[in-house]
Structure 1
Amino acid sequence: MTTRAPILIRAIREDDLDAVLQVQAACYPPAMQEPRAVVLSRLRAAGDTTLVALHGNAVCAYVFAYRSDAGAVTPLDAPFEVKGAGDTLYIHDLSVAPTAAGLGIARELVARLRSLAAGAKLAQCALVSVQDSKAFWEGLGFAERACAGDAARLALASYPSVAIYMCSELSGETQR
Protein backbone atom coordinates (compact mmCIF):
# COMPACT_ATOMS: atom_id res chain seq x y z
CA MET A 1 0.00 0.00 0.00
CA THR A 2 1.38 3.38 -0.97
CA THR A 3 0.89 6.36 1.24
CA ARG A 4 0.28 9.72 -0.26
CA ALA A 5 2.33 12.65 1.01
CA PRO A 6 0.14 14.92 3.14
CA ILE A 7 -1.14 18.22 1.77
CA LEU A 8 -0.32 21.25 3.89
CA ILE A 9 -2.26 24.47 3.34
CA ARG A 10 -0.89 27.69 4.76
CA ALA A 11 -0.76 31.41 4.14
CA ILE A 12 1.34 32.39 1.19
CA ARG A 13 4.74 34.01 1.81
CA GLU A 14 6.90 36.15 -0.42
CA ASP A 15 9.46 33.35 -0.67
CA ASP A 16 6.72 31.23 -2.35
CA LEU A 17 6.50 33.63 -5.29
CA ASP A 18 8.76 31.71 -7.71
CA ALA A 19 6.90 28.46 -7.05
CA VAL A 20 3.53 30.21 -7.44
CA LEU A 21 4.63 31.61 -10.80
CA GLN A 22 5.70 28.11 -11.89
CA VAL A 23 2.25 26.75 -11.02
CA GLN A 24 0.67 29.68 -12.89
CA ALA A 25 2.79 28.90 -15.98
CA ALA A 26 1.74 25.24 -15.85
CA CYS A 27 -1.95 26.14 -15.64
CA TYR A 28 -2.49 29.11 -17.95
CA PRO A 29 -1.63 30.07 -21.51
CA PRO A 30 0.82 32.99 -21.82
CA ALA A 31 -2.01 35.51 -22.40
CA MET A 32 -3.37 34.74 -18.91
CA GLN A 33 -0.09 34.62 -16.99
CA GLU A 34 0.11 37.67 -14.78
CA PRO A 35 3.41 39.51 -14.22
CA ARG A 36 5.56 38.87 -11.15
CA ALA A 37 5.17 42.47 -9.90
CA VAL A 38 1.36 42.23 -10.03
CA VAL A 39 1.32 38.87 -8.24
CA LEU A 40 3.68 40.20 -5.56
CA SER A 41 1.53 43.32 -5.06
CA ARG A 42 -1.51 41.08 -4.59
CA LEU A 43 0.27 38.95 -2.04
CA ARG A 44 1.18 42.08 -0.11
CA ALA A 45 -2.33 43.56 -0.38
CA ALA A 46 -4.24 40.45 0.66
CA GLY A 47 -1.83 38.16 2.48
CA ASP A 48 -4.47 37.04 4.96
CA THR A 49 -6.65 35.56 2.20
CA THR A 50 -3.99 34.11 -0.08
CA LEU A 51 -3.01 30.50 0.43
CA VAL A 52 -0.64 27.88 -0.94
CA ALA A 53 -0.87 24.13 -0.81
CA LEU A 54 2.27 22.07 -0.39
CA HIS A 55 2.61 18.45 -1.43
CA GLY A 56 5.88 16.84 -0.46
CA ASN A 57 7.20 20.24 0.71
CA ALA A 58 6.69 21.80 -2.72
CA VAL A 59 4.08 24.40 -3.66
CA CYS A 60 1.57 22.64 -5.89
CA ALA A 61 -1.36 25.06 -5.74
CA TYR A 62 -2.31 28.57 -4.73
CA VAL A 63 -5.31 30.82 -4.37
CA PHE A 64 -5.46 34.61 -4.30
CA ALA A 65 -8.56 36.20 -2.78
CA TYR A 66 -9.47 39.50 -1.17
CA ARG A 67 -12.34 41.43 0.35
CA SER A 68 -14.34 43.25 -2.29
CA ASP A 69 -17.80 44.53 -3.15
CA ALA A 70 -20.53 42.38 -4.69
CA GLY A 71 -20.45 42.55 -8.47
CA ALA A 72 -16.92 43.98 -8.72
CA VAL A 73 -14.37 42.28 -10.99
CA THR A 74 -10.60 42.65 -10.97
CA PRO A 75 -9.22 42.95 -14.50
CA LEU A 76 -6.53 40.56 -15.64
CA ASP A 77 -3.07 41.98 -14.75
CA ALA A 78 -4.48 44.63 -12.36
CA PRO A 79 -3.64 45.09 -8.68
CA PHE A 80 -6.27 44.27 -6.06
CA GLU A 81 -8.51 47.00 -4.67
CA VAL A 82 -9.10 45.56 -1.20
CA LYS A 83 -12.30 46.92 0.37
CA GLY A 84 -12.15 46.93 4.16
CA ALA A 85 -15.92 47.21 4.37
CA GLY A 86 -16.64 44.96 1.39
CA ASP A 87 -19.28 42.23 1.64
CA THR A 88 -17.67 39.68 -0.70
CA LEU A 89 -14.57 37.51 -0.74
CA TYR A 90 -13.43 37.73 -4.36
CA ILE A 91 -11.44 34.69 -5.47
CA HIS A 92 -9.22 36.04 -8.20
CA ASP A 93 -7.07 33.03 -9.01
CA LEU A 94 -7.05 29.38 -7.97
CA SER A 95 -4.51 27.13 -9.67
CA VAL A 96 -3.44 23.55 -9.05
CA ALA A 97 -0.35 22.19 -10.81
CA PRO A 98 -1.18 19.33 -13.20
CA THR A 99 1.07 17.06 -11.11
CA ALA A 100 -1.31 17.55 -8.14
CA ALA A 101 -4.60 17.23 -10.03
CA GLY A 102 -7.14 14.88 -8.52
CA LEU A 103 -5.96 15.26 -4.92
CA GLY A 104 -8.89 17.46 -3.86
CA ILE A 105 -6.66 20.48 -3.29
CA ALA A 106 -8.84 22.99 -5.14
CA ARG A 107 -11.90 21.98 -3.13
CA GLU A 108 -9.94 22.25 0.13
CA LEU A 109 -8.61 25.70 -0.78
CA VAL A 110 -12.14 26.89 -1.57
CA ALA A 111 -13.44 25.40 1.70
CA ARG A 112 -10.75 27.31 3.61
CA LEU A 113 -11.67 30.55 1.84
CA ARG A 114 -15.37 30.02 2.52
CA SER A 115 -14.54 29.48 6.18
CA LEU A 116 -12.46 32.68 6.28
CA ALA A 117 -15.28 34.60 4.57
CA ALA A 118 -17.94 33.23 6.92
CA GLY A 119 -15.74 34.04 9.91
CA ALA A 120 -15.44 37.62 8.61
CA LYS A 121 -19.25 37.70 8.25
CA LEU A 122 -19.10 38.30 4.50
CA ALA A 123 -22.26 37.65 2.47
CA GLN A 124 -20.70 35.72 -0.40
CA CYS A 125 -17.72 34.56 -2.38
CA ALA A 126 -17.39 35.61 -6.02
CA LEU A 127 -15.03 34.87 -8.90
CA VAL A 128 -14.52 34.88 -12.64
CA SER A 129 -14.69 31.42 -14.14
CA VAL A 130 -12.20 30.92 -17.00
CA GLN A 131 -10.91 27.99 -19.06
CA ASP A 132 -14.21 26.10 -19.08
CA SER A 133 -14.26 25.82 -15.27
CA LYS A 134 -17.95 26.78 -14.86
CA ALA A 135 -19.06 23.21 -14.07
CA PHE A 136 -16.34 22.86 -11.41
CA TRP A 137 -17.49 26.06 -9.69
CA GLU A 138 -21.15 25.09 -9.96
CA GLY A 139 -20.25 21.85 -8.16
CA LEU A 140 -18.99 24.02 -5.30
CA GLY A 141 -22.22 26.01 -5.10
CA PHE A 142 -21.36 28.95 -7.35
CA ALA A 143 -23.87 30.27 -9.89
CA GLU A 144 -23.57 32.72 -12.76
CA ARG A 145 -24.53 36.28 -11.84
CA ALA A 146 -24.41 39.68 -13.47
CA CYS A 147 -21.47 41.83 -12.48
CA ALA A 148 -22.07 45.39 -11.30
CA GLY A 149 -21.91 48.13 -13.88
CA ASP A 150 -19.80 49.12 -16.85
CA ALA A 151 -16.43 49.01 -15.04
CA ALA A 152 -17.02 45.42 -13.93
CA ARG A 153 -18.19 44.37 -17.41
CA LEU A 154 -15.09 45.97 -18.93
CA ALA A 155 -12.91 44.16 -16.37
CA LEU A 156 -14.62 40.87 -17.23
CA ALA A 157 -13.85 41.49 -20.91
CA SER A 158 -10.11 41.68 -20.06
CA TYR A 159 -10.08 37.87 -19.76
CA PRO A 160 -9.58 35.81 -22.90
CA SER A 161 -12.25 33.47 -24.22
CA VAL A 162 -15.35 32.81 -22.12
CA ALA A 163 -15.21 34.48 -18.71
CA ILE A 164 -18.20 34.21 -16.39
CA TYR A 165 -18.85 36.10 -13.16
CA MET A 166 -20.10 33.68 -10.47
CA CYS A 167 -21.16 33.94 -6.82
CA SER A 168 -21.86 31.66 -3.91
CA GLU A 169 -23.86 32.88 -0.93
CA LEU A 170 -22.49 32.17 2.55
CA SER A 171 -25.76 32.36 4.47
CA GLY A 172 -25.99 29.64 7.07
CA GLU A 173 -22.27 28.85 7.05
CA THR A 174 -20.41 29.03 10.30
CA GLN A 175 -16.77 29.57 11.01
CA ARG A 176 -14.84 26.30 10.96
Structure 2
Amino acid sequence: MTSTPYSLTLDDLPGLNDIQTHCYTAAMVESDTVMAGRLAIAADWSWGIRDDVGLCAYLLCYPCRQGHLGHLNAEFRPAQNGNTLYLHDLAIHPRARGRKLAQALVRHAQEQGRAAGLTHSALISVQNSQAFWAQLGYQVQSALDPAQSACLAAYPPPAHYMTRMLSA
Protein backbone atom coordinates (compact mmCIF):
# COMPACT_ATOMS: atom_id res chain seq x y z
CA MET A 1 0.00 0.00 0.00
CA THR A 2 1.12 3.52 -0.76
CA SER A 3 0.02 6.60 1.14
CA THR A 4 0.27 8.77 -1.98
CA PRO A 5 -3.05 10.46 -2.77
CA TYR A 6 -4.47 10.17 -6.27
CA SER A 7 -7.36 12.05 -7.92
CA LEU A 8 -10.68 10.28 -7.48
CA THR A 9 -12.88 9.40 -10.48
CA LEU A 10 -16.38 8.00 -10.96
CA ASP A 11 -14.80 4.53 -10.90
CA ASP A 12 -14.19 5.12 -7.18
CA LEU A 13 -17.90 5.49 -6.30
CA PRO A 14 -18.30 1.90 -5.00
CA GLY A 15 -15.27 2.37 -2.75
CA LEU A 16 -16.55 5.74 -1.52
CA ASN A 17 -19.88 4.17 -0.64
CA ASP A 18 -18.20 1.24 1.12
CA ILE A 19 -16.06 3.56 3.25
CA GLN A 20 -19.05 5.77 4.12
CA THR A 21 -21.12 2.81 5.31
CA HIS A 22 -18.25 1.65 7.52
CA CYS A 23 -17.51 5.10 8.95
CA TYR A 24 -20.74 7.05 9.27
CA THR A 25 -24.14 6.76 10.86
CA ALA A 26 -26.97 6.28 8.34
CA ALA A 27 -27.87 9.99 8.61
CA MET A 28 -24.39 10.92 7.40
CA VAL A 29 -24.09 8.59 4.38
CA GLU A 30 -24.39 10.60 1.18
CA SER A 31 -25.89 9.17 -2.01
CA ASP A 32 -23.93 8.00 -5.05
CA THR A 33 -25.67 10.72 -7.06
CA VAL A 34 -24.41 13.44 -4.70
CA MET A 35 -20.94 11.92 -4.57
CA ALA A 36 -20.76 11.66 -8.38
CA GLY A 37 -21.80 15.30 -8.67
CA ARG A 38 -19.09 16.32 -6.25
CA LEU A 39 -16.45 14.44 -8.21
CA ALA A 40 -17.62 16.19 -11.37
CA ILE A 41 -17.68 19.64 -9.78
CA ALA A 42 -14.51 19.39 -7.71
CA ALA A 43 -12.41 16.79 -9.54
CA ASP A 44 -9.20 18.70 -8.81
CA TRP A 45 -10.01 18.69 -5.07
CA SER A 46 -10.95 15.02 -4.47
CA TRP A 47 -8.30 12.47 -3.49
CA GLY A 48 -8.09 8.89 -2.37
CA ILE A 49 -5.58 6.32 -1.21
CA ARG A 50 -5.66 2.65 -2.18
CA ASP A 51 -4.40 -0.45 -0.42
CA ASP A 52 -4.29 -4.06 -1.64
CA VAL A 53 -8.09 -4.35 -1.31
CA GLY A 54 -9.02 -1.06 -3.01
CA LEU A 55 -9.95 2.45 -1.98
CA CYS A 56 -9.30 2.74 1.76
CA ALA A 57 -9.28 6.50 2.40
CA TYR A 58 -10.61 9.64 0.76
CA LEU A 59 -10.91 13.39 1.15
CA LEU A 60 -13.39 15.57 -0.75
CA CYS A 61 -12.68 19.32 -0.75
CA TYR A 62 -13.46 22.48 -2.68
CA PRO A 63 -12.51 26.18 -2.57
CA CYS A 64 -15.02 28.47 -0.86
CA ARG A 65 -15.22 31.75 1.05
CA GLN A 66 -14.33 31.64 4.72
CA GLY A 67 -17.45 31.25 6.86
CA HIS A 68 -19.46 29.43 4.15
CA LEU A 69 -20.23 25.92 5.36
CA GLY A 70 -20.81 22.88 3.17
CA HIS A 71 -24.26 21.34 3.30
CA LEU A 72 -24.70 17.66 4.05
CA ASN A 73 -25.99 15.63 1.09
CA ALA A 74 -25.95 18.61 -1.29
CA GLU A 75 -23.88 19.64 -4.29
CA PHE A 76 -20.62 21.46 -3.79
CA ARG A 77 -20.65 25.13 -4.69
CA PRO A 78 -16.99 26.05 -5.28
CA ALA A 79 -16.27 29.78 -5.11
CA GLN A 80 -14.49 31.30 -8.10
CA ASN A 81 -12.80 33.82 -5.80
CA GLY A 82 -12.51 31.53 -2.77
CA ASN A 83 -9.93 32.05 -0.08
CA THR A 84 -10.64 28.89 1.90
CA LEU A 85 -10.05 25.20 1.30
CA TYR A 86 -13.19 23.51 2.61
CA LEU A 87 -12.60 19.91 3.73
CA HIS A 88 -16.07 18.44 3.39
CA ASP A 89 -15.52 14.72 3.87
CA LEU A 90 -12.54 12.76 5.17
CA ALA A 91 -13.00 9.06 5.85
CA ILE A 92 -10.69 6.11 6.44
CA HIS A 93 -11.92 2.53 6.13
CA PRO A 94 -11.54 0.66 9.45
CA ARG A 95 -9.10 -1.78 7.84
CA ALA A 96 -6.70 1.12 7.14
CA ARG A 97 -6.84 3.01 10.43
CA GLY A 98 -3.64 3.68 12.32
CA ARG A 99 -1.60 4.26 9.15
CA LYS A 100 -1.75 8.08 9.26
CA LEU A 101 -3.68 8.20 5.98
CA ALA A 102 -5.94 10.98 7.21
CA GLN A 103 -2.92 13.14 7.95
CA ALA A 104 -1.42 12.33 4.52
CA LEU A 105 -4.64 13.35 2.76
CA VAL A 106 -5.03 16.55 4.78
CA ARG A 107 -1.38 17.49 4.22
CA HIS A 108 -1.80 16.91 0.47
CA ALA A 109 -4.98 19.03 0.41
CA GLN A 110 -3.31 21.84 2.33
CA GLU A 111 -0.35 21.83 -0.08
CA GLN A 112 -2.75 22.02 -3.03
CA GLY A 113 -4.68 24.81 -1.32
CA ARG A 114 -1.55 26.86 -0.70
CA ALA A 115 -0.42 26.29 -4.30
CA ALA A 116 -3.81 27.62 -5.47
CA GLY A 117 -3.40 30.76 -3.34
CA LEU A 118 -5.94 29.85 -0.67
CA THR A 119 -5.17 31.32 2.75
CA HIS A 120 -7.48 29.37 5.07
CA SER A 121 -8.89 25.89 5.56
CA ALA A 122 -12.23 25.01 7.15
CA LEU A 123 -14.42 22.01 7.93
CA ILE A 124 -17.29 20.75 10.02
CA SER A 125 -16.11 18.36 12.70
CA VAL A 126 -18.59 15.49 13.22
CA GLN A 127 -18.80 12.24 15.19
CA ASN A 128 -16.58 13.52 18.01
CA SER A 129 -13.62 14.30 15.71
CA GLN A 130 -12.91 17.74 17.20
CA ALA A 131 -9.77 16.56 19.05
CA PHE A 132 -8.34 15.01 15.86
CA TRP A 133 -8.81 18.27 13.95
CA ALA A 134 -7.41 20.32 16.83
CA GLN A 135 -4.21 18.26 16.61
CA LEU A 136 -3.95 19.41 12.99
CA GLY A 137 -4.26 23.07 14.00
CA TYR A 138 -8.00 23.63 13.50
CA GLN A 139 -9.93 25.73 16.01
CA VAL A 140 -13.67 25.92 16.65
CA GLN A 141 -15.33 29.06 15.29
CA SER A 142 -18.66 29.91 16.86
CA ALA A 143 -19.42 33.29 15.25
CA LEU A 144 -21.58 32.29 12.27
CA ASP A 145 -24.36 34.14 10.53
CA PRO A 146 -27.89 32.67 10.88
CA ALA A 147 -27.82 30.84 7.52
CA GLN A 148 -24.49 29.17 8.30
CA SER A 149 -25.64 28.31 11.83
CA ALA A 150 -28.68 26.60 10.30
CA CYS A 151 -26.39 24.63 7.97
CA LEU A 152 -24.29 23.50 10.93
CA ALA A 153 -27.43 22.52 12.87
CA ALA A 154 -28.45 20.18 10.04
CA TYR A 155 -25.50 17.89 10.85
CA PRO A 156 -25.96 15.24 13.55
CA PRO A 157 -24.52 16.59 16.81
CA PRO A 158 -21.94 17.19 17.94
CA ALA A 159 -20.92 19.29 14.92
CA HIS A 160 -18.42 22.15 15.05
CA TYR A 161 -17.21 24.60 12.39
CA MET A 162 -13.40 24.68 12.58
CA THR A 163 -10.78 26.72 10.71
CA ARG A 164 -7.04 27.23 10.42
CA MET A 165 -4.62 29.33 8.40
CA LEU A 166 -2.88 27.67 5.45
CA SER A 167 0.56 29.07 6.22
CA ALA A 168 3.64 27.27 4.96
The percent identity for this pair of structures is 35
Determine if the alignment matches structure 1 residue 168 to structure 2 residue 158: no
- The DSSP-based 3-state class of the residue aligned with 1:160 is coil
- The match for 2:83 among 84, 87, 95 is 87
- The match for 2:3 among 3, 7, 18 is 7
* Unpaired runs of at least 5, structure 2: none
Moved beyond 2 Å, runs of 4+: 5-8
Matched with 2:13 is 17
Give the structure with higher Rg (CA): 1
Matched with 1:43 is 39
Contact residue 35 and residue 77 of structure 1 kept, 8 A: yes
Q: CA deviation at 1:147?
A: 5.3
Contact residue 73 and residue 147 of structure 1 kept, 8 A: no
Determine if the alignment matches structure 1 residue 26 to structure 2 residue 57: no
- The DSSP-based 3-state class of the residue aligned with 1:66 is strand
Partner Cα distance (2:3, 2:51) in 1: 5
Partner Cα distance (1:49, 1:7) in 2: 17
TM-score, reference length from structure 1? 0.92
Map 1:33-72; keep pairs closer than 5 Å: 33-56=29-52, 58-72=54-68
Note the alpha carbon deviations across 1:110-138, whole angstroms, 9 max, x for none: 00000001101111110000000000000
Q: CA deviation at 1:90?
A: 0.3
- The match for 1:153 among 149, 159, 163 is 149
Note the alpha carbon deviations across 1:1-26, whole angstroms, 9 max, x for none: xxxx3334200011001111100110
Q: How many residues align?
A: 168
